[in-house]
Amino acid sequence: MGSELFVDAAKCTGHGRCYSTSPGLLSDDEEGFVTLRGSSMAIEDEQLADAEQAVAACPERAISLTRSR
Amino acid sequence: MTEAMKASGCPVSHTDYRVERPIFETYELLNADREAGPLLWNDSTRRPFWMVTEYDHVVEALQMPDVFGNEVLSALAPKHALDLLPNYLNPPEHTTMRKVLNRWFSPAAVRRLEPQVLSHCVELIEELAPKGGCDLVAEFAIRFPTDMFLATLDLPLTDGEEFLYWVEKIFKGFAGKEPEESARAVEWIRGYFDRAIADRERAPRDTETDFISRMLVSDLDGTPISREDIITICLTLMTAGLDTTRSALGYIFHHLSRDPDLRHRLTADPSLWPIAVEELIRLYPLVFQEGRLVKQDIVFHGLPMKKGDILWLGLASANHDPKKFADPRAFDIERDHINHHLAFGAGPHRCLGMHLARHELVIALTEWHKRIPDYEIATEEQLYERGAQLSINKLPLRWEI
Q: What is the DSSP string of B282-344?
A: HHS-----BEEEE-S-EEETTEEE-TT-EEEE-HHHHHT-TTTSSSTTS--TT-TTGGG--TT
Looking up residue A33, the CATH number of its domain turns out to be 3.30.70.20
| Tens-digit pLDDT profile for residues B360-374 | 999 999 999 999 999
Contact A13 B348 (CB under 8 A): yes
pLDDT classification of B152: cutoffs 50, 70, 90? confident
Report, as an integer, the average pLDDT of B63-91: 89
CA distance B103 to chain A (A): 4
DSSP assignment of B232-245 equals: HHHHHHHHHHHHHH
Report, as an integer, the average pLDDT of B345-354: 96
The number of distinct structural domains making up chain A is 1
Q: Are strands B310-313 and B49-52 parallel, antiparallel or unpaired?
A: parallel
Q: Are strands B68-69 and B291-294 parallel, antiparallel or unpaired?
A: antiparallel
Q: Is B249:B136 a contact under the CB 8 Å cutoff?
A: yes
Q: Tell me the chain B residues in contact with residue A11 when contact means C-beta distances shorter than 8 Å.
A: 63
| Tens-digit pLDDT profile for residues B245-267 | 999 999 999 999 999 999 999 99
Helices (H), B141-204: 143-152, 160-174, 179-202
Residue to mutate among A8, A12, A15, with most B CBs inside 10 A, is A15
- Whether B1 has a pLDDT exceeding 70, the answer reads no
The pLDDT value recorded for residue B5 is 57
Report, as an integer, the average pLDDT of B18-26: 95
The pLDDT value recorded for residue B9 is 76
Calculate what percentage of chain B has a pLDDT beyond 90: 79
Q: Judge whether B111 is closer than 8 Å to chain A, CB to CB.
A: no
Contact B350 A14 (CB under 8 A): yes
- Whether B65 has a pLDDT exceeding 60, the answer reads yes
Type of residue found at B292: R
CA distance A60 to chain B (A): 7
The pLDDT value recorded for residue B7 is 55
Q: Is B383:B393 a contact under the CB 8 Å cutoff?
A: yes
The pLDDT value recorded for residue B8 is 65
Contact A13 B350 (CB under 8 A): yes
Contact B102 A32 (CB under 8 A): yes
- Whether A69 has a pLDDT exceeding 60, the answer reads no
By C-alpha distance, the chain B residue nearest A13 is B348
Residue B22: its H or E element? strand B21-22
Distance between CA atoms of residues B197 and B309, nearest Å: 39
Contact A30 B339 (CB under 8 A): no
| Tens-digit pLDDT profile for residues A7-53 | 999 999 999 999 999 999 999 999 999 999 999 999 999 999 999 99
Contact B106 A11 (CB under 8 A): no
Report the residue from A11, A28, A56 with minimal CB separation from B337. Answer: A56
- Whether A64 has a pLDDT exceeding 80, the answer reads yes
| Tens-digit pLDDT profile for residues B188-208 | 999 999 999 999 999 999 999
Q: Judge whether B339 is closer than 8 Å to chain A, CB to CB.
A: yes
CATH classification code of B3-328+343-398: 1.10.630.10
CA angle B401, B146, B344 (to 5 degrees): 105
Q: Judge whether B105 is closer than 8 Å to chain A, CB to CB.
A: yes
Distance between CA atoms of residues B28 and B356, nearest Å: 29
The pLDDT value recorded for residue B147 is 87
pLDDT classification of B160: cutoffs 50, 70, 90? confident
Q: Tell me the chain B residues in contact with residue A33 when contact means C-beta distances shorter than 8 Å.
A: 102
CA distance A2 to chain B (A): 26
Q: Judge whether A31 is closer than 8 Å to chain B, CB to CB.
A: yes
- Whether B4 has a pLDDT exceeding 70, the answer reads no
pLDDT classification of B32: cutoffs 50, 70, 90? very high
Q: Which of B304, B242, B286 is nearest to B4 (CA)?
A: B304
Distance between CA atoms of residues B291 and B345, nearest Å: 11
Q: What is the mean pLDDT of chain B?
A: 93
Report the residue from A29, A33, A59 with minimal CB separation from B340. Answer: A59
Helices (H), B47-106: 55-62, 93-102
- Whether B176 has a pLDDT exceeding 80, the answer reads no
Report the residue from B103, B348, B350 with minimal CB separation from A31. Answer: B103
| Tens-digit pLDDT profile for residues B95-135 | 999 999 999 999 999 998 889 889 989 999 999 999 999 99
Report, as an integer, the average pLDDT of B50-59: 98
The pLDDT value recorded for residue B179 is 81
- Whether B175 has a pLDDT exceeding 70, the answer reads no
Q: Tell me the chain B residues in contact with residue A14 when contact means C-beta distances shorter than 8 Å.
A: 102, 106, 350
Question: Which residues constitute the domain of residue A13?
Answer: 3-66
| Tens-digit pLDDT profile for residues B289-343 | 999 999 999 999 999 999 999 999 999 999 999 999 999 999 999 999 999 999 9
Q: Judge whether A67 is closer than 8 Å to chain B, CB to CB.
A: no
Report, as an integer, the average pLDDT of B269-274: 98
For chain B, the domains span 3-328+343-398
The pLDDT value recorded for residue B148 is 87
Burial string for B208-220 (b: 16+ CB within 10 Å, else e) reads: eebbbbbbbeeeb
Query: Among residues 48-87 of chain B, which lie with CB inside 8 Å of chain A?
Result: 59, 63
- Whether B52 has a pLDDT exceeding 90, the answer reads yes
The larger pLDDT score, comparing residue B381 to residue B4, is at: B381
Model pTM?
Answer: 0.94
Report the residue from B109, B346, B348 with minimal CB separation from A59. Answer: B346
Report the residue from A20, A21, A30 with minimal CB separation from B103. Answer: A30
pLDDT classification of B167: cutoffs 50, 70, 90? confident
The larger pLDDT score, comparing residue B68 to residue A68, is at: B68
